[in-house]
Structure 1
Amino acid sequence: MIKLILDRPRCEGHGLCEEVAAQLLHIDDEGYAAIDVNEISAANLAAAQAAARVCPVAALRLIEDEAP
Structure 2
Amino acid sequence: MIRLTVDLELCEGYGNCVFEADDYCELTEDGVVRLVRPDVAAADLQRVELAVSSCPVSALQLEST
Identity among equivalent positions (%) equals 32
Moved runs in structure 1, 4+ residues, more than 4 A? none
Q: Distance in 2 between matches of 1:47 and 1:23?
A: 11
The residue type paired with residue 22 of structure 1 is D
- How far apart are the structure 1 equivalents of 2:55 and 2:31? 14
* Structure number, greater radius of gyration: 1
Return 5+ residue gaps in structure 2 as ranges.
none
1:41 CA drift (Å): 0.7
Secondary structure in 2 matching 1:26? strand
* Amino acid of the structure 2 residue aligned with 1:15: G
When structure 1 is superposed on structure 2, of 2-11 and 40-49 the one drifting more is 40-49
TM-score, with normalisation over the residues of structure 2? Answer: 0.95
Structure 1: tracts of 5 or more residues without a match: none
Counterpart position of 1:60: 60
